[in-house]
Chains A and B, each alone.
Chain A
């Protein structure tokens, strides 16, 4: 595939890295650091015990964590992060049952220009409430989110909670299912991806990534369904259930057409399907659909990779 022709833009997420268990520590599996070489170098030499640093804390506390201030916190690469201009991070643990498969960490730079949102919603007393979130320059939207809660089935987080499936919401400003439409439209947020984050113990978490055109989290989103109830028990595979791309348009097909299918080890999605581990790919246009970078995340449910979501930027 040809390289993307879009003009270069500032992206909301600067760094994406995968930390994987090795013995009793988390070590760097792979990562995308862009031009932030010194932070990449600091990360290559880091490892985290359970409860140590941001990845270790997400592992120990078995929940997604948003960290908006590194200084004086448990974040261990503070100096390198500050030199790189990174000011906030979100860690997402990937569990299969009680087993930690990996921790995804994304880091953002706050320059009061970048707009987007990475939110963690948690069920509390029968509704989803904002556990924490990072919003960049979208301050009003942040305030609205802090004062919004979602019953099961309502809004993007509530829809993900009810269906236990990832959901891709278009045109966030146009209203209806996206409850915070008015504020989202004013903040320039356009596309929302919600996904369930299963953790041991039964707590309900939903992660929402809300992308703006000017400083996108992604310009291509893909939602793959790998549930054996959907794709069949004979031979593991995943089908592209939904997706949109700034260059290719709609990535879904009608009910009468055959969706795209990935088999184990076939491309980036196939790799995630085969290993059950998240993946970050960069510098390989064939695997990143012509974009600079791709992040693919498995969602383990009932002992299998049930869904894979991927975003490209």
Chain B
């Protein structure tokens, strides 16, 4: 039986500028919530696995983000690194309902080892 998902309201979509981001602190660690288009958002881990760069300060292009430290690029849909590098950032379910950003509570409830 599937457990019904519970969602946390973390704000309004207009709180994030287009191709911008906001950081959300959770028990799972800091998340970066990116707004890629008028009505598309992604929630991913904020820390680059390469050298710990803050991805929320990176450049958003299409549905990817470039790390500000060494230009590693991550697909925001899958979390996978692009190009010659390997590595992955965690992704978290997020949806928009009546303009509100709803983050999956279960996925961010466990404490991060970091």
Question: Residues on A close to B: CB < 8 A?
Answer: 167-172, 174-178, 191, 242, 244-246, 249-250, 252, 254-255
With A174-B61, A175-B61 in contact, do A250 and B68 touch (Cβ < 8 Å)?
A: no
Q: Are A176 and B70 in contact (CB under 8 A)?
A: no
Q: Are B68 and A170 in contact (CB under 8 A)?
A: no
- CA separation between A255 and B47, bound complex, in Å? 12
Least CB distance from B60 to A in Å reads: 10
The 0/1 profile, CB within 8 Å of A marked 1, for residues 75-103 of chain B is 00000011111110000000000000000
- CA separation between A169 and B72, bound complex, in Å? 8
Which residues of chain A are near B52, meaning CB under 8 Å?
Answer: 255
- CA separation between A254 and B88, bound complex, in Å? 11
- CA separation between A172 and B73, bound complex, in Å? 11
Q: Are B73 and A177 in contact (CB under 8 A)?
A: no
Least CB distance from B76 to A in Å reads: 14
- Name the residue on A nearest B49 (C-beta): A254
Q: Are B66 and A175 in contact (CB under 8 A)?
A: yes
- Name the residue on A nearest B59 (C-beta): A176
Q: Are A174 and B84 in contact (CB under 8 A)?
A: no
CB-based A-B contact count at 8 angstroms: 58
Question: Residues on B close to A: CB < 8 A?
Answer: 49-52, 58-59, 61, 66, 68-73, 81-87
Least CB distance from A111 to B in Å reads: 26
- Name the residue on A nearest B50 (C-beta): A252
Q: Given A171-B82, A171-B83, A176-B58, 10 other A-B contacts at CB below 8 A?
A: A167-B70, A170-B73, A170-B83, A171-B71, A171-B72, A175-B66, A176-B59, A249-B86, A252-B50, A254-B49
Q: Are B85 and A244 in contact (CB under 8 A)?
A: yes
- CA separation between A170 and B67, bound complex, in Å? 10
Q: Are B71 and A250 in contact (CB under 8 A)?
A: no
With A245-B84, A249-B84 in contact, do A171 and B66 touch (Cβ < 8 Å)?
A: yes
Which residues of chain B are near A244, meaning CB under 8 Å?
Answer: 84-85
Q: Are B86 and A176 in contact (CB under 8 A)?
A: no
- CA separation between A174 and B68, bound complex, in Å? 11
Q: Are B85 and A174 in contact (CB under 8 A)?
A: no
Q: Are A249 and B71 in contact (CB under 8 A)?
A: no
Q: Are A175 and B84 in contact (CB under 8 A)?
A: no
Least CB distance from B91 to A in Å reads: 18
Q: Are B70 and A169 in contact (CB under 8 A)?
A: yes
- CA separation between A244 and B81, bound complex, in Å? 13
Q: Are B86 and A250 in contact (CB under 8 A)?
A: yes
- Name the residue on B nearest A175 (C-beta): B59
- CA separation between A254 and B58, bound complex, in Å? 20
Q: Are A170 and B61 in contact (CB under 8 A)?
A: no
- CA separation between A174 and B50, bound complex, in Å? 17
Least CB distance from B74 to A in Å reads: 11
Least CB distance from A138 to B in Å reads: 18
Q: Which residue of A170, A245, A246, A252 contacts B71 across the interface (Cβ within 8 Å)?
A: A170
Which residues of chain A are near B86, meaning CB under 8 Å?
Answer: 249-250
- CA separation between A171 and B50, bound complex, in Å? 14
26 interchain pairs, CB-CB under 8 A: A167-B70, A168-B70, A170-B70, A170-B73, A170-B83, A171-B66, A171-B72, A171-B73, A174-B66, A174-B73, A176-B58, A176-B59, A176-B66, A177-B68, A177-B69, A177-B70, A177-B71, A191-B84, A245-B84, A249-B85, A250-B50, A250-B81, A250-B86, A252-B50, A254-B49, A255-B52
